[in-house]
């Protein structure tokens, strides 16, 4: 018998002074049994950084090779933004860049990130619609400590600084661009 996804309810308040974007989002996130709290929270962080009324969590996430972790589609169904977290393989990145106007990867995983990027960067530099950002291991692991089945989170983004917090604490997050971000 297959294990079922765990459902998390999130009330997310976003104050992005850089864009500017101020909104509340009530989200239901399904965490696949193979997904860690750390990965789920990086997905949630990516949502907060790109929040928009049309941005959604794809139905498959980590378990689906046909869909991203998050995407934003226009009214015709064309993919405006394809957002993945982790260290996707070259084939997946090329496919995403062919299908979406803009592709964003949030790479995390400590020492694996520079090794992954060293192997991928020369082949992916030509992709003008690709942005790759890296999160330090300490930040992604700290985000995992904020996980609860029902979460009330605040995300403050100002001067490229990111702070995710709840009633028990806050986590400053640093995102480092590895390849073009506009």
Q: 126-177 pLDDT, tens per residue?
A: 999 999 999 999 999 999 999 999 999 999 999 989 999 999 899 999 999 9
Label residue 182 by pLDDT band (50, 70, 90).
low
85 is a domain residue: yes
Quote the pLDDT of residue 64. Answer: 55
- Integer CA distances (angstroms), 62 to 12, 44, 53, 65, 69, in order: 22, 13, 22, 8, 7
27 falls within a domain? yes
Which pLDDT band holds residue 181 (cuts at 50, 70, 90)?
low
Ranges 36-40, 56-60, 156-160: which has the least confidence: 56-60
pLDDT given for residue 63 in this prediction: 52
Residue-range definition of the domain harbouring residue 32: 6-179
Q: Give the per-residue pLDDT at 3.
A: 82
Q: What's the pLDDT band for 180 if we cut at 50, 70, 90?
A: confident
Quickly list H helices, 17-145.
37-50, 90-99, 112-124, 137-144
Burial 67-80 (b: 16+ CB within 10 A, else e): bbbbbbeeeeeebe
Per-residue pLDDT reduced to its tens digit, 90-139: 999 999 999 999 999 999 999 999 999 999 999 999 999 999 999 999 99
Both tokens of 85, joined, read 């977290």
144 is a domain residue: yes
Q: What is the pLDDT of residue 152?
A: 98
Q: Is 41 helix (H, G, I), strand (E, B) or coil?
A: helix
Total tally of structural domains belonging to the chain: 1
Phi, psi of 5 (to 5 degrees): -70, 150
Residue 47 lies in a domain: yes
- Indicate whether 1 belongs to any domain: no
User: Is 56 inside a domain boundary?
Assistant: yes
Question: Residue 66: its pLDDT value, please?
Answer: 82
pTM: 0.94
Q: Check which CATH number belongs to the domain holding 103 and give it.
A: 3.10.640.10
In whole numbers, what is the pLDDT of the chain averaged over residues? 93
Helical (H) or strand (E) element with 148: none
Cβ(86)–Cβ(108) below 8 Å? yes
- Please, what is the angle between helix 90-99 and helix 112-124, to 10°? 50
> Using CA of residue 16, residue 152, residue 108, residue 43, what is the dihedral sign?
negative
């Amino acid at each position: 018998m297959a294990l079922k996804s765990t459902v998390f309810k999130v009330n997310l308040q976003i104050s992005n002074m850089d864009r500017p974007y101020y909104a509340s989002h009530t989200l239901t996130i399904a965490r696949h049994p193979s997904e860690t709290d750390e990965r789920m929270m990086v997905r949630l962080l990516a949502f907060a950084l790109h929040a928009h009324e049309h941005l959604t969590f794809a139905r498959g996430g980590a378990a689906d090779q046909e869909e991203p972790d998050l995407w934003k589609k226009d009214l015709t169904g064309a993919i405006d933004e394809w957002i993945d977290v982790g260290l996707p393989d070259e084939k997946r990145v090329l496919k995403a860049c062919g299908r979406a106007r803009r592709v964003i990867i949030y790479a995390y995983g400590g020492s694996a990130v520079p090794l992954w990027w060293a192997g991928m960067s020369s082949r992916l530099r030509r992709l003008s619609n690709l942005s790759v950002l890296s999160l330090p291991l300490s930040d992604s692991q700290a985000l995992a400590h904020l996980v609860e089945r029902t979460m009330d989170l605040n995300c403050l983004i100002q001067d490229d600084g990111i702070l995710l917090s709840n009633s028990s604490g806050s986590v400053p997050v640093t995102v480092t661009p590895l390849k073009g971000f506009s």
